Every structure is written in structure tokens, then in C-alpha cells.
Structure 1
Amino acid sequence: MASSRTNVRVAIVGDRGTGKSSLIAAAASEIFPDHAPPVLPPTRLPADFFPDGVPLTIIDTSSSLESRGRLAEELKRADAVVLTYACDQPATLDHLSTFWLHELRRLEVKVPVIVVGCKLDLRDERHPMSLEQVVAPIMRQFREIETCIECSAANLVQVPEVFYYAQKAVLHPTAPLFDQETQALKPRCIRALKRIFILCDRDMDGALNDDELNEFQVKCFNAPLQPAEIGCVKRVVQEQLPEGINELGLTLTGFLFLHALFIEKGRLETVWTVLRKFGYDDDIKLKRDQLSIPSKRAPDQSVELTSEAVEFLKGVFSLYDTDKDGTLRHSELEDLFSTAPESPWDEEPYKDAVERTALGGISLNGFLSEWGLMTLLNPAQSLANLIYIGYTSDPASALALTRRRSHDRKKQHTDRNVFQCFVFGPKSAGKSALLNSFLGRPFSDNYTSATEDHYAVNIVHQLGGTKKTIVLREIPEDGVKKLMSYKESLAACDVAVFVYDSSDEYSLKRASELLTEVTRQGEESGFGVPSLLIAAKDDLNSYPMETRDSAKICQDLGIDAPIHLSVKGRDLNNVFSRIVKAAGHPHLSVPETEIGRTNKHYRQLVNRSLMLVSVGTAVAVVGLAGYRAYAARKNTSN
């Protein structure tokens, strides 16, 4: 099975006189040209030239100094590079390692390189040398070289093979699969093959029996294996890796060994066929068409896990919690994600977003919270990882699109289960401490100013037994301007909180400015959000007029009175439940500036006037119709 590419573009580069143009002409016409021009126009080899049925476009290049700009452009557009030297000119071979390969790196050309020795017929027979002796030192130094070959355009020796290898390097690349230095499968390849093995192991006994091997063969290669062929495969594995076979069949170790053997023997297309049959792309990730992602019709919609997906995750958690201590340790999480390209939560923004135990373990609440965060921020990544870890139901059943937040405001209710809360505030106000307290982390006096957005996610239990997932997104003070530069920046926000240090007058002033700025943005964009003012550090003495000043700010904007709390004193004043309540009632606590109120009042007057005009018009139309009916009856009676 070939990749989804519809064309492969190959640039040919090398010293002048190394035979580039003659090689291209001979490949296209199967005739050695008497007089090849210095640089040929783009040449297309049709699909039927190649076993994968993909056409190839060859771009000839000039090595002259005045053509360097054009050369760089072509190299950056190429899918592969054929780098030529002349077999009768040793200096051109040396120039590959002293100039050309370094030039490709300087231009950041990150595609497969095929080194081709042209003019094989002109090599001095008095100095025979094997190809391996010639290029092995270069290949060790430059790992981007996929393969090397020598040819003769004059004698039509190995000319088609040059472009077959170039295309093969693009359609069936080595780099994602195999580490040339360690001579071993790369981790992402191992993880994908492990998932494939588990999917094929239908009886889940840890080995592929003959029937399962046959099903695998038919799925990938559309042809069954004969019993003798299955026996041969097993013997090859058992002779070289005894633990690759047991009494039940081919083990995972043996399955991986077979694929490594295919690669070592140059049969990369076999491994790629397997990967592509199971939905993988060239980066060994699931292709986009394998993922049914609900498309957001409006910016104020979000994506959540369905109850079916949540129940699946609860089952997965229980399965991998092998010691049944109610947490997944780091090793158990690694095992869980061992069939994914990598563990998705090892990097930001997920790495520190949930509560962890002292040994790095994660509770069921933390586990589900991480999935809720990933689904909110990157639905495609979330769905892909669900499939990687074994979700076999219809992918479309895993994710759901929420109703527009503007509709929720009109209905004065929301059905969302995951709320995103933007946390604004000046430096040193206590934003990070608030996020840490949400995750149950102890208070620390060590202060580090945040420079990037940070996330904290947890499940909040409400009265009546309901649960909501809250995502707190800390916006650094210096990042507010950038955030507000996007008109729809508040569309993803369910509730905004503004934190200030209650002992610092300037902190409240700055929080008030941020609150006003965000309020105006909401009024202008139509994405106004419920907002809360949080007076942090209540364990310190408030500045004298703090209560009056903060109350006036809230009164002027029409929002609830400030919430006083102390993270250090462990008095959080039920703040997270109050955030849930505000998010759950999107029509309340939405701040309004004086200008916003005036504009709103004006719109109401206009709408009322238009309604009166409409009613008046309707009455006039009815009256006119009645008059016409009366006139018609009168004329008839006369």
C-alpha cells in the first residue's frame, strides 16, 4: 500500500560535468543522448515507471554561482535529493563531503539523499574499488544519506534504479522506522507495531496463532499464507530469536524482530504497507481521516468526551492500576500509553496540569481531568490517543460538540461538563498560588513570575452529587495584550476571574484595569463572560480602603462582590464551587461598562421601535385589505 502522495519531486545536484543531465535524459528516453543541454527542464516519469504507481518529477539544477538562489529554492521544494559524482573524477566524490552535504544542512534540507556515482563506464579499471569502500565513510558521517548507487547513462546500467530508490526513499522512508546507528527499530515504530500486534491478537493470549497470522497477512497484503509459509516464518524467528515463538504462536518480540529483519533486508515497503493498512501516516501517527472530529461551527463551542468515552477510560484506569492503589504510577502510565506514539502528558501544557502523588502517580479524578483538558485543547490529539490505547467503538461516539455559549446565555442554562476559566491578574497577585491550591499543592513562599500560560484542571463536586471539570488557565499579565489582540479570544472562556493582592492598592487598580479591558473586549466581540473578582492574600492586612474600592468596582460593572481568600491560610472561601456556579449560569455576573450599557439600551430601543413599526405596518396592511374587501362588496351590491 503506497502513501497518499500523488507525485514525488526529486532535485538532482552535484558538480558540473558529473552527468546529471545525461542521467535524466537516459531515464526518460532509455537512450543515451548525444548532446544533453547543460540544464534540462523539469522531466516527468509517469506512474507506470514505478511499482507504487506514483509519478516522479525530476528537477535538473545548475551548480554555477549565479544559479545558487534558484538551486536553494528547488532544494527546499524537493521530496528527495539525488547527489551526483563522476566515477572517473575522484575530486567530485570528495566534494560531496567537503561542500554539497554541508550545503544541504546549511539550507536545512531535511529529505532523503541518494548518492549516485555516474559515468561508471569511464572508471579506471586499473584502480578497482567497491562502492562500499567508496561511500561507507561518507554515510557514517552523513546519516541523511538513504542509499548509494553507481550507474552508467551511456550503457543504460542501473539508470531506472536511481529513481526507483529516490522514490522509494520518499514513499517508504527509513528514518521514521529504523535507527542506523543502533541498528534497531525506533521507539515510535515499536509502539505502532505493538498496537497492531494487540489488535491482531484476537484471543488476547499474547501470541499470534496461525489463524491470527493469516488474518494479518490477508488484511495487509490481500493474500493468505500457506501452512508451509507460516512454518517457514516461525522457523526463521525461532532460529535467530528463540523467545520470538512460544507454544501459542508468534510473540510480540518475534513480531517486532520480523519487521526489523524486513528493514535490514531493504524491504521497507513491507513494513510501511503494514503501518498504512492500520491507518498510520509517514510520521507513524494515525492519519486525519481515521479521526472523526466534530467540526466547530462557532468559536464559542467546545468539544467534550461523551459518557461512553468516559466509561471506557474508567475501565482503562482500573485495568492498568495493577496494584489497585487507586492511582496510576508513572510506570503504569507508561505502560498504558506504550501503544501511542509517545506519552502525551510528558510535555506542557499537560505535564503539571493535574494533581500528582509524591511518586508521580495520578488519581482517577486526575486521569479523567487530563483527558478533559486534552479534549478541550486538542480534540484530534485526544481522539487519536483514545484509539491508540484501545478505543474500538466508532470514533464518532467518543467526542461531542457543545451548544454555543451565546445560546446557553439565552436559555440561562448550560449542559457543559467542562468549563474553562481564564485567570487574570497583575504580577504577584496570587494567580499561580490559586492554581496550585486547586491541585491540592502546599503553599510556597517562593515566587516565580509566569511568562507562559499555565493550566490546572480538576473535578469539582457540587451539591446533589454532580461533577464538573474546571480548567484554570493562568494568563500572565504580560500576555493579556497578545490574547486580547484576537477578536474571538474570549469565545473559549466560560468564566473569567481577576485576582488581586488585597494588601496592595496598586494590585487592585491593575486588576480593575484588566477587568475593564476584558469587559470591553467581550462587549465589542459579543463574547462577554461571567466574571469574578478575587481578593487574594486575605491573611495579610488589607490596605485601608480595599473593601470600599473593590465593592465599587463590582457595583459599577454589575458583578458579585469580591471573593476574599487566603491560599496560605487554607481559607479558599469555596471559590472553585463559585466558579462552577458562575460558569453554569452564563447569563449572570456578566460585567458591563457604562458605554456597554448605553449601547445595549440603544439597541433595545431600536429593536422596540422596529417592532412597533412592524406591528403598525401589519395593522395598516390588514386595514387596507379590509377596506378593499368592503369596496368590492359595495361595488357588487350596486
Structure 2
Amino acid sequence: MAAKTGVRTSVRIVVAGDRGTGKSSLIAAAATESFPDNVPSVLPPTHLPADFYADGVPLTIIDSSSSMDNKSKLFEELKRADAVLLTYACDQPMTLNRLTSYWLNELRQLEVKAPVILVGCKLDLRDEHHPMSMEDIVAPIMKQFREIETCIECSAATLLQVPEVFYYAQRAVLHPTAPLFDLERQSLKPRCKNALRRVFTLCDRDMDGALSDEELNEFQVKCFNAPLQPAEIVGVKRIVQENLPSGVNDRGLTLPGFLFLHALFIEKGRLETTWAVLRKFGYDDDLNLSGDYLPVPSKQAPDQSMELSNEALDFLRGVFQLLDTDNDGALRPTELEELFSTAPESPWDEPPYKDSAERTALGNLTLNGFLSKWALMTILDPPRSLANLIYIGYGGDPAKALRVTRRRLVDRKKQKTERNVFQCFVFGPKKAGKSAILNTLIRRPYSKNYSSTTEDGYVMNMLERVQGGQKTLILREIPEDGVHKFLSNEECLAGCDVAVFVYDSSDEDSWNRSRELLVEVARKGEVSGFGVPCIVIAAKDDLDPSPLAVQDSVRVCQGLGIEAPIPVSSKSGDLSHIFNKILTAAEHPHANIPETERGRNRKRYYKLFNRSLIFVSVGAAVGVIGLAACRAYAARKNTSN
């Protein structure tokens, strides 16, 4: 039983093809349910009402001219199309050849993503003495051009299969094949399998790996508002068992059987059945959860960020324990793959998440690394974080899974913060040792091999605090070549809790460049109002230090009003004191904010300006009082006289 879609409110179909292939007659016949005697060369937009087909979605059909003079207009219409009908004339074989030699290639060059329906018109005029097998002719074309949804032949003169033409076009839009099924392999696509696996898991309430008759009936009622009769349930399970013995067991319909059923529906052209199920469980046309199912809190200011709520964190800890079947405190790649088997794909296979968290010597993800990845995803992409929480089974109120932090500006005024996740931006020249410091946070072994960083890099970990509790620290490395572009954004420092500046303590030039970066960032903070605590790190302390760099760095830090540089050596492998220092600075957001001479002069100017305003206002008030006193004195004098 098909369900009405709530995804689209209209469908726009563009009809294109060579001159004389019957485009306008086809449209007119569909709209009037008769064969018109006189049809204009190009019809105006034609509308089929919502009740024309069972899906209840109105259609707008756009006719097109084959004239070269109207080519640009046609191309614009094709780009706006939800579906494209390409026509050929059944009595003119050359028009069919033109579909592959011209029209389909033209659609690809225009990067038209809409599904394509091949329509053979004038079927009543085909030469009966030369019968043609449409399947033999069209199959090679459909194999070459996967964007073709189907092919159908019709006759406007006899009204043969005219309504079906536009029904298939509408269905290709409302119930597309491409996201669900691989026609070449004749199997469900991975994203479709993952979505259906999630549906199955949610419906398997007793979590025994099978849908009982009761659970199967509840599923049917939820998706189609109608129960299954006992005989129907028996029939469904019999069909599955005959084709896939593992699809049914003594507890009911298994996941393989559930997937087999949907593949069978699609193969038999009942895509609307699978789409009805997917949309009932919140999926859009791309098999992602639709926005209505993701109540992400809105950030009000750029210096606010998102964090997972305690409820969401408790859920993730529970998930980790369930997946960690060998109780070694870490998740193997196969266990992570199982975790995201009900999501469209693993969100952590690409940067910035890949290889950015703590792992064991065997390469398995620790609990701290696991939770840290969720923290980073929540800050960088809150909708994606919430969606993946739901994909993996989060059953709490989605609106309460994320929380918006207080503004950093307010934190500085109150001289404290309520954040649990802190972002630290790491600046410094090439070969200063930035990446080595980042690697130490996630306990990655020190390496002598140097590779230049060209893109922003992230690492993150959860750290124990002396006063108790855990905080998540995210280090974001800003490549030297990318600093100018980074600082060109007015709000670039809004999401930063601490800025760290790294230089090679044995190299005076390295310090000079790091100093320039420090001053640039300090000025940016003063101008934008997003000033942040700054820490300077003198890296490679195991090498002979440059005396001039040491002296000048201390002098510059004193001049800016921040702490002196902290000497470190990444070779030691333990930089916990540095990371605790960063967290302490983040927890005291009002301190260690650098102040340039320009900033001090600006502050003095504003103080003098404000004082002058106070003086003027006081003087004005005194003048008003004096004037009032004079008037009162004059009034009393006149009265006495």
C-alpha cells in the first residue's frame, strides 16, 4: 500500500526531443484526455491537478521548442526540471538514434540531475511489417545512460498509455530508484541498506534479531495505517523463506529477510512501498534524516558553541560499553563499523575526524577518543552530530541532546566559564613543532619525519582536571600559509578559547615569525572584540636555545601582558603540564589576553572620551540647576515687591 509523500508539493516535468516527435500532442492528450485536432507548435505550461494521480501531488508540464533560437531557454528549463521526458517518434528510427547522439549527452553537459524518461510517441504509426523489441533497443541505452529511469511507448491519437507516461515521470521524482537500488548489480545500495537496517532495529522492540508477527503488524500499521491479516503474514514469510531460507527463523522475519522483501518490492516496480517506509521514519530523498527530525538549537552569537548534553554523553558511554565486547576499553574498526551500520555512512572516515583522536597501540579507539570525536562533530557540525546520534539509536528527546554554551564575551566578564569543551587554535611558523605538540595530546609517538601542514588539522582528547571531572580539549592547527586567509574573517576568533603560539626555541627566525603572528592575532582580537587568552610555547627545548630569541620572547610577552614562554620538548612524550596550562587559561577567559600598544592607546582614548562625556553631563546638570535657582530667586523677588 503506497503512502502519500510529504516531501514535495509539486513536480515540474520538462518535455524535450526532436521536432515532430509528438511532444505537444502528448501533453495536450494528457491534459484533455482526447486527441486534439490542432495543437500549437509549443504549448504554454500545462497543469495536471493534485487528484490526477494517487500520490496527490500536482504536475506542471513544460513543453519545449526544438528551434536553435530557443536553445538557451530550453537549457534553463532543463536545469530546473524535476524530471525530463525525452521523446522520439516510433515511426522515425532516426529520432531514437538522436537521443544517444545528442539529447542524452546534452543533458550530461548541462549537469542535469533529474531522472530521465524515454518516451516513444506515435506508436499507432509504427510499421507493423517491421516489429521492434523495445527491450532489445532500449536496454543498451539504459546501460550506457544510468540516469534513464524507464522507457515507455504511447500513442496520443489512441490515448494508449498517455496517462502512464506522466505517472512514471512523477513516480521517478516522488519515488526515485537511484538512491535505493543498483540496477547493474540488482541489489539494494549501501545507504538504503543502512536506512532499512535502522528501521528494522527500531521495530525489533525485544531486540531478538527478528520481527515477530506482532512486531511485523505494528510496523505495517505505523507505515501504512492498516494491519496485516494473519494469512498475509504467513504469506509474506513463506515468500521470503522460499527465496531466502535465512530470512525467517522461529522468532520471525530476520534482517536479511526484511532487506530481501524491499529488494523484491523495488524489482517489481513497487518503489512507493519502500519510500513510504523510509519517509515514515524521517528520511529525505538522499536517505538522510530530514530537517524536521533534527531540532538543533539555534546559535545566537558567533562566540557561542554546541556541546552534547549529559544525557547524550551517558547514552554514548553506554553504546561504547555494549560495542566493547572484549572489555579492553577500546573499539576495533569492525566494532565502529557496526556502530554506524544504521547510519548513511561513517561520519569519521574523512578529515577532520579521521586519525584525530586517541587510539591504542593496536590502533583501536579509546573511550576518551570516542567521546572526543563526538565533541568535535558537535562543535563543527551540530546537525550531523544530532543525526548520527539518532541513527545509532538515541531514544531521548532530540531537542535536549545538544546544548548551547554561554557567550565567551559573557564568560570573560564573569571571569569563569561553564564550558566542558574548549577549542585551542595553534599558530606558528613552519617546522616550529606544532604538529608534534598536537600528536602528543592524542599520545601518538614522536616522529623525526617532517611533513608540512597545508590544511587545518584537528586533534582532541578528554583530560582529567585536578579539581575533578573531565574536560575536552580540541587543538586546531592553523598552517602558517593559511593565517592571512584565516584572519580575514571578522569572526575568526569567536570560537576560540585559547590561542597558542609555537616557535623553535633554537631558531631566532622562528621566534620572529611567531611574534608577528602573536601580534597579528592580538590586534585582530582587539579590533573584533573577540580577544582570547594567549600562551607562547618555546618548542624543541632539547636543542641549544637561541639567546636572542629567549630574551626577546620574554620581553615581548611582558609588553603584551601575558605569561612568559613555556619551554617544552615533544621528544619527552609528556606535555600534560602544557595541556593543563591551556585548560586553565580557557577556564579563566578574562586573564592572559594580550594588549598591544595600539590597544592600550585606544583604551586610554575611550577612557578620556567617557570622562569628558561625564564632565559635560555634570556641567550641563550644574547649569540647569543654576538656571532653575535663578528663576526661583527672581520669582520670589517679584512676589515680595
Structure 2 length-normalised TM: 0.96
1:306 counterpart residue number: 309
Are 1:177 and 2:180 matched, yes or no? yes
Q: Which amino acid aligns with 1:485?
A: S
Distance in 1, Cα, partners of 2:245 & 2:618: 89
Is the CA contact 2:265–2:271 (under 8 Å) kept in the aligned structure 1?
Answer: yes
1:77 counterpart residue number: 80
Is the CA contact 1:328–1:363 (under 8 Å) kept in the aligned structure 2?
Answer: yes
- Specify whether residues 194 and 625 from structure 1 end up closer, same or farther in structure 2 by C-alpha distance, changes over 3 A only: farther
* Among 397, 411, 420, the residue aligned to 2:423: 420
1:141 counterpart residue number: 144
Is the CA contact 2:434–2:477 (under 8 Å) kept in the aligned structure 1?
Answer: yes
Distance in 1, Cα, partners of 2:608 & 2:171: 70
CA deviation profile, 1:114-146 (whole Å, cap 9, x unmatched): 000000010001111232122111111111110
Is the CA contact 2:445–2:573 (under 8 Å) kept in the aligned structure 1?
Answer: no
* Among 343, 348, 351, the residue aligned to 1:345: 348
* Among 497, 508, 513, the residue aligned to 1:510: 513
CA deviation profile, 1:246-279 (whole Å, cap 9, x unmatched): 1111111111111111101101011001000011
- Specify whether residues 581 and 121 from structure 1 end up closer, same or farther in structure 2 by C-alpha distance, changes over 3 A only: same
Are 1:258 and 2:261 matched, yes or no? yes
Aligned-residue offset at 1:39: 2.0
Distance in 2, Cα, partners of 1:634 & 1:113: 100
Distance in 2, Cα, partners of 1:623 & 1:448: 76
Distance in 1, Cα, partners of 2:310 & 2:628: 57
Aligned-residue offset at 1:33: 2.3
2:61 counterpart residue number: 58
1:237 counterpart residue number: 240
2:284 counterpart residue number: 281
* Among 600, 607, 612, the residue aligned to 2:610: 607
Are 1:4 and 2:7 matched, yes or no? yes
Aligned-residue offset at 1:607: 3.2
* Among 332, 336, 348, the residue aligned to 1:333: 336
Distance in 2, Cα, partners of 1:508 & 1:47: 70
CA deviation profile, 1:30-55 (whole Å, cap 9, x unmatched): 22222322222222222111211111
Aligned-residue offset at 1:411: 0.2
1:431 counterpart residue number: 434
Is the CA contact 1:192–1:341 (under 8 Å) kept in the aligned structure 2?
Answer: yes
1:451 counterpart residue number: 454
Distance in 1, Cα, partners of 2:365 & 2:505: 34
* Among 100, 103, 106, the residue aligned to 1:97: 100
Can you give the 5+ residue segments of structure 2 that lack an aligned partner in the other structure? none
Is the CA contact 1:3–1:171 (under 8 Å) kept in the aligned structure 2?
Answer: no
1:268 counterpart residue number: 271
2:592 counterpart residue number: 589
Distance in 2, Cα, partners of 1:64 & 1:623: 88
The alignment covers a number of residue pairs equal to 638
Is the CA contact 1:565–1:573 (under 8 Å) kept in the aligned structure 2?
Answer: no
Are 1:470 and 2:470 matched, yes or no? no
Distance in 2, Cα, partners of 1:54 & 1:452: 46
- Specify whether residues 250 and 533 from structure 1 end up closer, same or farther in structure 2 by C-alpha distance, changes over 3 A only: same
Distance in 1, Cα, partners of 2:247 & 2:637: 104
2:45 counterpart residue number: 42
Q: Could you tell which deviates more after superposition, 599-608 or 40-49?
A: 599-608
Alignment of 1:171-210 (within 5 A): 171-210=174-213
Is the CA contact 1:118–1:152 (under 8 Å) kept in the aligned structure 2?
Answer: yes
Distance in 2, Cα, partners of 1:629 & 1:230: 100
SS of match in other structure, 1:472: strand
Distance in 2, Cα, partners of 1:401 & 1:125: 72
- Specify whether residues 91 and 406 from structure 1 end up closer, same or farther in structure 2 by C-alpha distance, changes over 3 A only: same
- Specify whether residues 512 and 31 from structure 1 end up closer, same or farther in structure 2 by C-alpha distance, changes over 3 A only: same
SS of match in other structure, 2:602: helix
* Among 385, 395, 398, the residue aligned to 1:395: 398
1:18 counterpart residue number: 21
Q: Which amino acid aligns with 1:411?
A: K
Is the CA contact 1:457–1:469 (under 8 Å) kept in the aligned structure 2?
Answer: yes
Is the CA contact 2:440–2:574 (under 8 Å) kept in the aligned structure 1?
Answer: no
Distance in 2, Cα, partners of 1:394 & 1:556: 51
* Among 385, 393, 401, the residue aligned to 2:388: 385
Distance in 2, Cα, partners of 1:68 & 1:295: 44
Is the CA contact 1:88–1:120 (under 8 Å) kept in the aligned structure 2?
Answer: yes
2:410 counterpart residue number: 407
Runs of 4+ in 1 over 4 A off after TM superposition: 611-638
SS of match in other structure, 1:325: coil
SS of match in other structure, 1:127: coil
Q: Which amino acid aligns with 1:251?
A: T
SS of match in other structure, 1:357: coil
Distance in 1, Cα, partners of 2:244 & 2:293: 35
Is the CA contact 1:302–1:376 (under 8 Å) kept in the aligned structure 2?
Answer: yes
- Specify whether residues 152 and 333 from structure 1 end up closer, same or farther in structure 2 by C-alpha distance, changes over 3 A only: same
Distance in 1, Cα, partners of 2:404 & 2:626: 49
Q: Could you tell which deviates more after superposition, 179-188 or 43-52?
A: 43-52
1:224 counterpart residue number: 227
Is the CA contact 1:502–1:546 (under 8 Å) kept in the aligned structure 2?
Answer: yes
Distance in 1, Cα, partners of 2:233 & 2:634: 98
SS of match in other structure, 1:574: helix
- Specify whether residues 633 and 416 from structure 1 end up closer, same or farther in structure 2 by C-alpha distance, changes over 3 A only: farther
SS of match in other structure, 1:338: helix
Aligned-residue offset at 1:613: 5.2
Distance in 2, Cα, partners of 1:513 & 1:135: 67
Is the CA contact 1:565–1:571 (under 8 Å) kept in the aligned structure 2?
Answer: no
Are 1:551 and 2:562 matched, yes or no? no
Aligned-residue offset at 1:300: 0.2
Distance in 1, Cα, partners of 2:539 & 2:420: 27
Is the CA contact 2:47–2:59 (under 8 Å) kept in the aligned structure 1?
Answer: yes
Aligned-residue offset at 1:341: 0.7
SS of match in other structure, 1:250: strand
Can you give the 5+ residue segments of structure 1 that lack an aligned partner in the other structure? none
1:356 counterpart residue number: 359
Distance in 2, Cα, partners of 1:13 & 1:521: 56
